[in-house]
């Protein structure tokens, strides 16, 4: 009799884990399917301004200019 109670508790724990995993998979899939729709819907209405708190010509400045250039070519 003690074995059946232990088996029931184990089965319940496995079931709970499977339900949690299934729910997580469904939520992740929904998020992945919704992401392209949300991404495609946004487009800037005004020019985007990069503010780089570093000196001109440094690594951060060069990276911001690189990003700005690639972003400008994809949003035009």
- Give me the residue spans of the domains in the chain: 1-41, 43-76
**Per the confidence metrics, is the pTM higher than 0.75?**
no
**CB distance 68 to 50 below 8 Å:** yes
| 3-state SS, residue 44 | coil
What's the pLDDT tens digit per position in 3-41? 555 566 667 777 788 888 888 888 888 877 776 665 566
44-60 average pLDDT score: 84
User: What is the spatial distance between Cα 50 and Cα 45, in angstroms, rounded to a whole number?
Assistant: 15
């Amino acid at each position: 009799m003690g074995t059946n109670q232990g088996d029931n508790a184990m089965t319940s724990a496995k079931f709970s884990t499977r339900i949690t995993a299934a729910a997580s998979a469904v939520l992740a899939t929904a998020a992945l399917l919704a992401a392209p729709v949300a991404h495609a819907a946004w487009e800037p209405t005004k020019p985007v301004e990069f503010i780089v708190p570093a000196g001109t010509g440094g690594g951060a400045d060069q990276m911001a200019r690189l990003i700005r250039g690639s972003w400008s070519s994809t949003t035009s």
